[in-house]
Amino acid sequence: MGIRLVAFDLDGVLYRGKEVVPGAREGVQAVLDHGLQLQYVTNNATLHRSAIAARLDSMGFPATPEQVLGSAAATAAWLRGHIPAGSPVLAVGEPGLIQELSQAGFHAMHVRDAPEDGVAAAIVVGLDRSLTYDTLAVAQHHILHGALFVATNTDATFPAEGRLLPGGGAVVAAVATAAGVEPVVIGKPEPGMAEALRTLSGLSYEDMLFVGDRLDTDIAFGAAVGMRTLFVLSGVHGRHDIESFGVEPDFILESLAGLSRLLDELVSKP
């Protein structure tokens, strides 16, 4: 019976830095008005899901930690199926990532705090705005000695107020180049994030509409598993990029202010 869940990317869709994207609040409210399940899905791995929910709420978007799926939490969930509980895990990342890894049952810390002896079970890499040469060298050492190399996401950039900034993918690329090893990637557009969303929601992909501003991550992510996709022209990519990326969204909106009308059609559409 049509869609039952709408999942929103965050950066470039709901906000850019500290600025709310025009029409975004109306779009999120439209989901609630139509009685649909609301989910926020982000490749951001710097914040714990509770901090992301608090940030959303402060910007006028209703959100609970249970409604937030970040690549840090998805990565921690994936690791639970691949290394034993309590394993030492080192992060090239920020406190939110380390908190998610710790809550998943791992002995997690930043690589700068790594003991000099032993090898970590895994090196997890995301955006790290304190990245140094020493951080890179420690991560390289552990990967070369057998640590599993996992990337929260490979987004090269993310939108801020009036500009693009380097994303987690830039840090992942540095570690991969130093170690000569490609990581397992969990975040969009890889299937690990989709599997986490399906498990969290209890719904099938056909029940979901994914809303994003990036063709290479958001729209490719949803299309790959059979979600319907909505491309909103408020972030990184525009209409002119569709042919270049070879990804065709199901729907396109200039602004999320138009989402209510689209949902009128989709909710009752078989």
Catalytic positions, written as ranges: 9, 11
Three-class secondary structure of residue 76 per DSSP: helix
Which positions ≥6 away from 189 have C-beta within 8 Å? Answer: 216, 217, 218, 220, 221, 224
Q: How many CA atoms lie within 13 A of 95 on its CB side?
A: 3
d(CA 215, CA 15) in angstroms, rounded, equals 17
- What is the β-pairing status of strands 208-212 and 5-8? parallel
Q: What DSSP character marks residue 122?
A: E
Q: What DSSP character marks residue 126?
A: -
Find, among 114, 50, 106, the residue nearest to 75 by Cα: 106
Alpha helices in the chain (DSSP H): 24-33, 49-58, 71-80, 95-103, 133-144, 168-179, 191-201, 220-225, 242-245, 259-266
